[in-house]
Amino acid sequence: MKSLLCFLFFLTVFLCTGQNKKLDSLQTAYKNEITDTTKVNLLNKIALEYYTSFEFDKAIEFLNKALPLAKKINFKKAEAYSYNILGAIEYYKGNNKAAIDIYKKSLQLRDELGDKRGVAAIYGNICGVFTNTGDYSEALNYANLALKINSEIKDTNGLAVTHNRIGEIYRSLGNYPEAIRHYLMALKKAEEVNKMPLVGQIYNNIGILYGTQNNNDEALKYYLKSADIEMKYGSRKGMSGKYHNIGTIYFKRKDYAEAIKNFTLALQINTEIGNKYWMGNNLTGIASIYGETGHKEKALETLEKALEIRKEIGDKAGMAEAYSSMSGVKLELKQYGAARKDLNEALNLAKEVHALKELASIYKTLTSLDSTENNFKEAFNNHKLYVIIRDSLINEENSKKILQSQMQYDFDKKETAIKLEQERKDVVAREETKKKNLVIAGVSVVLLLVLIFAVFVYRSYLQKQKANVLITEQKKLVEEKQKEILDSINYAKRLQEAILPPLHFIQRHLPLSFVLYSPKDIVAGDFYWMEVVQNKGPEASQILIAAADSTGHGVPGALVSVVCSTALSRAVKEFGITDPGEILDKTRELVLETFSKSDKDVKDGMDISLVSISITPHSNTTTVSWAGANNPLWYISNGEMQSITANKQPIGKAENQKPFTTHNLELNKGDSIYLFTDGYADQFGGPKGKKFKYKTLQELLKKGSQLDPEQQRKNLYKAFCDWKNDMEQVDDVCIIGIKL
């Protein structure tokens, strides 16, 4: 990795030199050009070069020359291009309203020119501004407008860019399954047209998504994939961004030495290329490390440098963030007056640029400051404002608008298809009318019985031919629909696999373990789940792992499994519960809450076997806690197979619900634990076509308990396949084996 970082840095210096030469060449060409059309294009190209170097004032200088000249010669395409660059500059400077107003000027010109590709691109830019301000319903509305046009003109690259933007919106809303779905769609489209820089950007966004979920290993993996692509295609801004993102991951891991190294490398590159916008971000990252390590004065000094850079480029949103961060440090240093002054500056700037996320943070800090100074009335008022803004970012009304926007897009898409189908029917109807009139005219003119008979025979033949064509078309339509359904289910499989913990993650924490997972269909109702709770102090770390069986299998089962898996994770991460029985109680509550939003009587849920393993280093015994819903726990201790019966109730709607029972065990090193669903034991097969049964499964597990985990998994799968033979698999299969 060190060699990769060094190579990227030297490549950046080389590319920067190349850009200076390009600017010199463009400016020389402009001075020597006499044709107004070419001069406008050259002015726009020079402005674009300065914009990509983040020299906004120089870019604006050349745009102010390009725009009047373009208007004078009625060169609308160049005028729209100028407005597009100017809108991007205002966006980077944090002037969100101005950016949208300017983008709309470009949009009007593109629309007048009939430039659908350009219109879709501007819709995407406006979507980016609304995403940045937290107005996600508007952002999704403009993204869907872009998506509609890209679909109409079959612009694969535009579809990739737009799906990537929609992924960003859903990531910001915390809807991670929908975000990853759109990222994967964007990735597929970008790879189709070999747009590798865009592929690198999407990898980076997936890394950010995993970082948001604190899955730092996966985040780092995607950041490095993105860095490989940036190295090959030489995006200077992109390379510095990877350093910054990698620094963020190390910061989350509290590896501050590696974090500051990567932030500093990013700062060096951005200083070299004059990217002042990202220099501010890099300095803010470095200041965060100083703050976390107790160097408050250094943190303030670094934030002041970031503030000066934000002021230089007129980035009001960045200035608001810098003032807000400085106030937080001063509050910790008990410099209350200075902290309040910074907060007021931040508040005015954030209001001006409508930075809702920053406003929420400022009101939250003001609440703390007022409480510290015993201004309880002001603290209460500021807390109310914080809650209002926080909830407005993702509230019920916002969600309704988003759903309405998505439904409108789907409706428009269907309406277009219906319109095209109706036009086709009208053409067919007109053709049929013509044929009918010809036949009537022929019969009227020629009154010969033989000819009349021939006409009837001929019409019969035509109808038969039409019937054959119709049957062929219907068959083709059925085949196409079947393919679409199968493609959707295969895509659902990829999404479902995203909720399953990777095998390397399980075996890193439980080295002597295996997972036998065999869905009946492409997607499954069975799933396995795992969370690791890192306790502070001398207490052992807890590993929570479960095998679960959602109601049904196939697509319905898969949908229920996503709901149940999410509820398990929320019980641990959001509510901080680690006792197995209490986790199942909270999960049942969350699942019922989810299904209660439907006006239907939904009785879906799951059966589950959930174990908590407390790993204490240098100990020959292990504390194990377990709870189950319908599915039992089996364990082998001192060579004997033991069983604990689960509560006879599901995770879901049921009569006479009771709290789930937590069972505690003290097991020795070398003992084995088995979690499973009912699919293996219920499989029909063998010479008489009977069930495999639990007793036979117990004997098989006991016999293989001394083998290494992978060999035991292979033996189990072979036994299952041999028993099933040519018979259909009746249910999903999931078995987890763990040797302590």
The pLDDT value recorded for residue 243 is 80
C-alpha distances in Å from residue 660, one per residue of 409, 588, 631: 45, 10, 12
What is the reported pLDDT for 9? 37
Tens digit of each residue's pLDDT (9 = 90 or more) over 681-721: 999 999 988 999 999 999 999 999 999 999 999 999 999 99
Q: Are 265 and 5 in contact (CB under 8 A)?
A: yes
pTM: 0.44
In a domain, 622, yes or no: yes
- Domain around 595: 502-739
- Which one has a higher pLDDT value, 680 or 400? 680
My answer on whether 674 and 599 are in the same domain is yes
SS3 605: coil
User: What's the confidence (pLDDT) of residue 396?
Assistant: 42
Q: Are residues 438 and 521 in the same domain?
A: no
Within this chain, do residues 725 and 612 fall inside the same structural domain, yes or no?
Answer: yes
Find the angle CA(295)-CA(298)-CA(304) to the nearest 5 degrees: 140
User: Among residues 446, 462, 496, which one ends one of the domains?
Assistant: 496
At 395 the pLDDT is 55
506 lies in the same domain as 446: no
Q: How far is the C-alpha of 211 from the C-alpha of 216, rounded, in Å?
A: 5
Q: Percentage of residues in the chain with pLDDT exceeding 70? A: 82
- Rounded CA-CA distance 364/386 in Å is 6
Indicate the range of 30-44, 70-84, 98-112, 452-466 predicted with least confidence: 452-466
For 428, the token pair is: 């067919």
User: Taking Cα atoms as reference points, which of 629, 620, 621 lies closest to residue 546?
Assistant: 629
Q: Is the same domain home to 551 and 679?
A: yes
pLDDT tens readout for residues 536-550: 554 557 999 999 998
Is 473 inside a domain boundary? yes
Q: How far is CA 212 from the centre of its chain?
A: 10
User: Does the residue 398 lie in any domain?
Assistant: no
Same domain, 452 and 589: no
Closest CA to 16 of 41, 49, 38: 49
Per DSSP, the residues of 471-516 read: HHHHHHHHHHHHHHHHHHHHHHHHHHHHHSPPHHHHHHH-SSEEEE
Q: Given 454, 476, 496, which residue is the final one in a domain? A: 496
127 against 52, higher pLDDT: 127
C-alpha span between 186 and 205 (Å, rounded): 11
- pLDDT-derived band of residue 402, with 50, 70 and 90 as boundaries? very low
Tell me if 37 sits within 8 A of 74, measured CB to CB: no
- Same domain assignment for residues 523 and 606: yes
Band the pLDDT of 236: cuts 50, 70, 90: low
Alpha-carbon distance 200 to 523, whole Å? 29
| In a domain? residue 654 | yes
**CB 75, CB 44: distance < 8 Å:** no
Do 633 and 485 fall within a single domain? no
| Rounded Cα distance, 556 and 564, in Å | 13
Domains: count for the chain: 2
Within-domain flag for 490: yes
Name residues whose C-beta falls within 8 Å of residue 116's C-beta, 6 or more positions apart in sequence: 149, 152, 153
Q: What integer pLDDT is reported at residue 444 of this predicted model?
A: 58
Where helices occur in 155-314 by DSSP H, the ranges are 156-173, 176-192, 196-212, 216-233, 236-252, 256-273, 276-292, 296-313
Q: Are residues 506 and 529 in contact, defined by beta-carbon separation less than 8 angstroms?
A: no
The Cα–Cα gap between 8 and 372 comes to: 47
CA 664/CA 577 separation, integer angstroms: 16
Residue 667: inside a domain: yes
Q: Which residue, among 663, 638, 669, has the nearest Cα to 511 in the 3D structure? A: 669
pLDDT confidence of residue 10: 37
**All residues at 6 or more sequence positions from 715 whose CB lies less than 8 Å from its CB, including other chains:** 700, 704, 707
Per-residue pLDDT tens for 47-76? 998 888 778 889 999 999 999 999 999 999
The pLDDT of residue 17: 45
Query: Of the spans 312-326, 404-418, 425-439, 702-716, which averages the highest pLDDT?
Result: 702-716
Domain closes at, from 449, 473, 496: 496
* Radius of gyration in angstroms for the set of CA atoms belonging to the chain, rounded to a whole number: 32
Residue 133 inside a domain? The answer is no
User: Percent of the chain having pLDDT more than 90?
Assistant: 40
Measured CA to CA, the distance from residue 525 to residue 734 in angstroms comes to 10
Q: Model confidence at 94, in pLDDT bands (50, 70, 90)?
A: confident
Confidence label for 385 from pLDDT (cuts 50, 70 and 90): confident
Same domain, 723 and 602: yes
d(CA 108, CA 412): 22
Give CA angle at 558 (556, 559), nearest 5°. 65
Strand, helix or coil at 600?
coil
3-state secondary structure of 187: helix
Per-residue pLDDT, 211? 81
Q: Is 35 helix (H, G, I), strand (E, B) or coil?
A: coil
pLDDT in tens, 545-604: 999 998 766 677 777 888 899 899 999 999 999 999 999 999 999 998 887 765 555 567
Q: Based on the fold, state whether residues 491 and 531 are members of the same structural domain.
A: no
Name the E strands within 662-725. 663-668, 672-676, 684-685, 690-691
Q: What is the DSSP secondary-structure string of 58-124?
A: HHHHHHHHHHHHHHHTT-HHHHHHHHHHHHHHHHHTT-HHHHHHHHHHHHHHHHHHT-HHHHHHHHH
Query: Are residues 600 and 473 located together in one domain of the fold?
Result: no
| Residue 171 pLDDT greater than 80, yes or no | yes
Q: What is the CATH number of the domain that holds 646?
A: 3.60.40.10
Give me 315's structure tokens: 């980035």
Query: What is the distance of C-alpha 215 from the center of its chain?
Result: 13
Residue 340 within any structural domain of the chain: no
Given the structure tokens 């298809």, which residue do they identify? Answer: 417
Helix (H, G, I), strand (E, B) or coil at 608: strand
Whether the CB-CB separation of 655 and 526 falls below 8 Å is answered with no
Q: What is the largest CA-CA distance in the chain?
A: 111
Q: What is the pLDDT of residue 422?
A: 55
Same domain, 473 and 519: no
- Say if CB 466 and CB 435 are below 8 A apart: no
